Chains A and B, each alone.
Chain A
Amino acid sequence: MYFDYLNVLVFAGVGLVFTFANLILASIIRPKRKSDVGLETYECGEETIGDAWIKFDIRYYTVALVYVIFAVEIAFLFPWALVLKEVIAGTGAAAGSGIGAFIIVEGFLFIAILLLGLAYVWAKGDLDWVLHWDAPEYQPPTKHPRVTLPSIAELEAEDEADAEADGEDGPDGDEEAA
């Protein structure tokens, strides 16, 4: 029995060997120089900002859940496809048992019930990636008003004003303008 799957085993074995052999080989022959740049996530790309451990949105979960349900459906429909072929061709055990029509109805009923679930998710807006239903109107934040870049003349005037005032507010103002 298990011999039927020897090719699968060999395939898996070759896959594993290929992966790890390359990794081990690389670790043997590559030069080992430690530097701060080398330890970064992307050695020669964008600088990373923050942590990768961010909280995912619940919508990912919803979509994954729907995916699971329909993966199970596919698993059930696979044998159905086999029987269906026989029923339509009128051969085999399925046709012989005299319940051919029933089998077709069963399968469609199964799909229909699950499609109702899809309709539910759809109608409730869980498939919409952009949340648009009762989302409040976008309000520009009041705390940090939009920065309009000042002209050179204004900047110069500001610098003069800063020089007159005490130095406390100076750096802040400069940063914002920049």
Chain B
Amino acid sequence: MNAYIEQMGLIAPELVLTALSLFVLTWDLLKKGRNSDHIGYATLVGLAVTGWLLLQQWGMLGDKGTQTAFGMVTIDRFGTFFKLFTVGSMAVVTLFVMLDKNERKHGIGEYYFLLIGASIGAFFMVSTNNLLLLMLGLELLSLASYSLAGFHKGSKRSAEAALKYIVFGGLSAGVMLYGISLLYGLTGTLDLGLMGHAPEGSGAVSLATQFDASPIPVAIAVVLVLAGFAYKVSVVPFHFWTPDVYEGAPTPVTTFLAVGSKAAGFAALLRFVGALFLTDGVDASIVAYGDRIGFLLAILAAITMTLGNLSALRQGSLKRMLAYSSIAHAGYVLMGAASMTSEGFAAAMFYLAAYYCMNLGAFGFLIYFEGVTGKDDIDSLKGMGWRHPVVAWSMVVFLVALTGLPPTVGFYGKLILFYAAIDAGLAWLVIIAAINSVISLFYYFRVAKSMFLTEPVPQVPMRQHGLAGILCVLAVVTVLAGLGAFKDPLRGWADEGPASLEIYATDAGSR
């Protein structure tokens, strides 16, 4: 009994978020659809408390090492790293919702509720070794995202986005569940740690044992689960939903899908691959198989980044271009997973941290731009640089970071990703990625060119936008610029992640 209460302390951030979601919902009901901004402020306060708790946890983990709550939630630095960034990005998205000129101000309490629900899902996804809880977290995240994508009821595009998202999402969830049930049938456990290494008397059979007996069922199971993850992070054969959903969804939701949801998917993917193939104690035969899975991921990464970048070249809409750019970036992050080393994982984590900043900024700019012109095509950007210089220059910084040029965090992130991939013997992938970065320069530069190098179109309506929007974007810019200087601590945090995964594995072995 006392043990349970103690374990509740470990999942305090999740509990606070849950309480926050219920509070937000109740308050919205009691307020009966008056100005929803108060609910937004309440959400921000709750997220701040969660963030504080997570920071405490980060410190605690340094002292005590990895903890397990309720036998399912693994509290380690890997998970806490992603949780911190999820909370941060969620706070920014909440601000975007409050400042979005295309969003109504009344009766949108559900919006915040769904956003918080999605982050609870992301929390469970990034910090569990149990496939049941992983699936629940994934579904929480997905269901919230489906409804959020269709949140603009009057808009056909929004409805289309929600419909496409839910149909593709349902398909991929089915595929993934099939894989999970195969894994459960093969090993008799849902715990990834036990799948990687099953000690005597645990009642489970390790995946390696089953692999030695017959590799094909194991391969099918693993690959089906990977397909589910690939959908979530929009890797190429499963990317079809991305442009349409990103375009149709309300822009703050798109921001969340591109940043929070995708990063959570990658975190779960890294944990899955790491626990099955990389941790201490797993058998040699399955490690060798892991290398082949790594090769498969490398091929997917190459296809994903190339296709994403080539498609982004042809887009007229900034929103759609950013959607394809996010597909391309999924390819870059996948390089880290494909290298199948602890350095690769750390690089992927670092790049995801950079990705949070760059894309939050880029989408924040999009919201600002939509608020000013009501359009999202690149041609309407003409003259933005002269009329809204602060915002435009911020956007240039984000674009530079997205391209991966110095002196931004994007450059450094790509650099360590490339190093990790070369160390893992994936030099060909690095060459493809470098070529892709050059390609991406063209379409990112097109945006900058449109803003600065073309004459302002006289009929573009200029509307005074809330100062808060600019400040918000600026805050992100400051973080971004600062990261160049503060990159070493961040690098250190990212390195903690894979380390904590491996520490957990040795624990599982000795249990």
Direct interface between A and B, CB < 8 A: yes
- Which chain B positions have C-beta within 8 A of A116? 22, 25-26
A108 contacts B by Cβ under 8 Å: no
| Chain B residues whose C-beta falls within 8 Å of the C-beta of A101 in the assembled complex | 1
- Chain B nearest CB from A108 CB (Å) reads 14
Residue B284 lies at the interface, judged by CB distance under 8 Å to chain A: no
The distance from the CB of A101 to the nearest CB of chain B, in whole angstroms, is 7
User: Complex: how many Å from CA A73 to CA B435?
Assistant: 54
B-chain residues with CB within 8 Å of residue A119 when the two chains form the complex = 26, 29
Interface size on B, residues (CB 8 A): 7
Which of A99, A120, A123, A124 meets B1, CB within 8 Å?
A99
For A83-117 the 0/1 string (1 means CB < 8 A from B) is 00000000000000011011000000000010010
Q: Which residues of B contact A113 (CB under 8 A)?
A: 22
Bound together, the chains give a CA A123 to CA B110 distance in angstroms of 13
Q: Is the CB of B4 within 8 A of A123?
A: no
**0/1 string, B3-38, CB within 8 A of A gives 1:** 010000000000000000010011001001000000
Q: How far, in Å, is B234 (CB) from chain A's closest CB? A: 29
Q: What chain A residues lie within 8 Å of B1 (beta carbons)? A: 98-99, 101-102
When distances are taken between beta carbons in the complex, the residues of chain A under 8 Å from B32 are: 123
When C-beta atoms are compared, the residue in chain A nearest to B30 turns out to be: A123
Q: How far is the CA of A112 from the CA of B197 in the complex (A)?
A: 40
Which of A102, A120, A124 has a CB less than 8 Å from the CB of B4?
Answer: A102
| In the complex, chain A residues whose CB is within 8 Å of the CB of B29 | 119-120, 123-124
**B25 in contact with A99 (CB, 8 Å):** no
B436 shortest CB reach to chain A, Å = 45
CB distance from B285 to the nearest CB of A (A): 36
B404 CB, nearest partner CB in chain A, Å: 45
Which secondary structure characterizes the binding site on chain A? Answer: helix
Assembled-state Cα–Cα distance A131/B230 (Å): 44
Task: Tell me the residues in window 23-79 of chain B with beta carbons closer than 8 Å to chain A beta carbons.
Answer: 25-26, 29, 32
Residues of chain B contacted by A99 (CB below 8 angstroms): 1, 4
Q: Write the nearest CB–CB distance from A133 to chain B, whole angstroms.
A: 11
B436-485, CB < 8 A from A:
none
**Which residues of B70-93 have CB atoms within 8 Å of chain A's CB atoms?**
none
> Contacts of A98 on B, CB cut-off 8 Å?
1
- What residues of chain B lie closer than 8 Å to A120, measured between beta carbons? 25, 29
Size category of the binding interface on chain A:
10 to 19
CA distance A119 to B26 in the complex (A): 9
Nearest CB to that of A102 among chain B residues? B4
Least Cβ–Cβ distance between A103 and chain B, in angstroms: 11
| Chain B, Cβ-Cβ closest to A122 | B29
Minimum C-beta distance from A99 to chain B (A) = 6
Encode B204-239 as 1/0 by CB contact (under 8 A) with A: 000000000000000000000000000000000000
Quick one: closest A residue to B22, CB to CB? A116
CB of A83 to closest CB in B, whole Å: 16
Bound together, the chains give a CA A116 to CA B25 distance in angstroms of 8
Beta-carbon nearest neighbor of A124 in chain B: B29
* B4: chain A residues within 8 A (beta carbon): 99, 102
Q: Which residues of A contact B25 (CB under 8 A)?
A: 116, 120
* Least CB separation from B107: chain A residue: A124
Q: Quick one: closest A residue to B110, CB to CB? A: A120
* Distance to closest chain A CB from B80 (angstroms): 25
Q: How far is the CA of A22 from the CA of B32 in the complex (A)?
A: 57
- Interface 0/1 of B185-206, CB less than 8 Å to A: 0000000000000000000000
What is the CA–CA distance of A37 and B29 in the complex, to the nearest angstrom?
Answer: 55
Chain A residues numbered 109-157 whose CB sits less than 8 Å from any CB in chain B: 113, 116, 119-120, 123-124
CA distance A102 to B26 in the complex (A): 25
Chain B, range 485-501, C-beta contacts under 8 Å to A: none
Q: Which residues of A contact B26 (CB under 8 A)?
A: 116, 119
Return B150 CB to nearest CB of chain A, in Å: 14
How far is it, in angstroms, between the C-alpha of A116 and the C-alpha of B28 when the chains are bound?
Answer: 12
Q: With the chains together, A63 CA to B26 CA distance in Å?
A: 21
B428 to chain A, nearest CB (A): 50
A123 to chain B minimum Cβ distance, whole angstroms, is 5
- Given the complex of chains A and B, what is the CA–CA distance between A116 and B30 in angstroms? 12
Q: Which of A18-70 contact B (CB under 8 A)?
A: none
The distance from the CB of A148 to the nearest CB of chain B, in whole angstroms, is 42
Contact partners of A124 in chain B: CB under 8 A: 29
* Residue on A nearest B5 in the bound complex, by CB: A102
Q: Complex Cα distance A9/B179, Å? A: 32
CA distance A116 to B117 in the complex (A): 14
Per the bound structure, the CA–CA distance linking A123 and B30 in Å amounts to 9
Shortest CB-to-CB span from A85 to chain B, Å, is: 20
For window 237-256 of chain B, which residues contact chain A by CB distance below 8 Å?
A: none
Q: How far is the CB of A94 from chain B (nearest CB, A)?
A: 13
Nearest B residue to A98 via CB reads B1
Query: How far apart are A142's CB and chain B's nearest CB, in angstroms?
Result: 28
- Tell me the bound Cα distance from A119 to B29 in angstroms: 8
In the complex, chain B residues whose CB is within 8 Å of the CB of A102? 1, 4
Nearest residue, chain B, Cβ from A119 = B29
CA distance A3 to B249 in the complex (A): 53
Chain B nearest CB, measured from A96 CB (Å): 13
Determine the distance from Cα of A113 to Cα of B18 in the docked complex, in whole angstroms.
10
A100 to B194, CA, bound (A): 29
User: Cα distance A97–B22 when bound, in Å?
Assistant: 30
Q: Which of A99, A102, A124 has most B Cβ within 10 Å?
A: A124
Chain B residues near A123 (CB-CB < 8 A) = 29, 32
CA distance A120 to B22 in the complex (A): 11
Known interface pairs A102-B1, A116-B25, A119-B26; 11 further A-B residue pairs with C-beta atoms within 8 A, sorted by A's residue number: A98-B1, A99-B1, A99-B4, A101-B1, A102-B4, A113-B22, A119-B29, A120-B25, A120-B29, A123-B29, A124-B29
Closest 5 CB pairs of A and B: A123-B29, A98-B1, A102-B4, A120-B29, A116-B25
Interfacial residues, chain B to chain A (CB-CB below 8 A) = 1, 4, 22, 25-26, 29, 32
Residues in A lying within 8 Å of B, measured CB to CB: 98-99, 101-102, 113, 116, 119-120, 123-124
User: Can you pick out 17 interface pairs between chain A and chain B where the beta carbons lie within 8 Å of each other?
Assistant: A98-B1, A99-B1, A99-B4, A101-B1, A102-B1, A102-B4, A113-B22, A116-B22, A116-B25, A116-B26, A119-B26, A119-B29, A120-B25, A120-B29, A123-B29, A123-B32, A124-B29
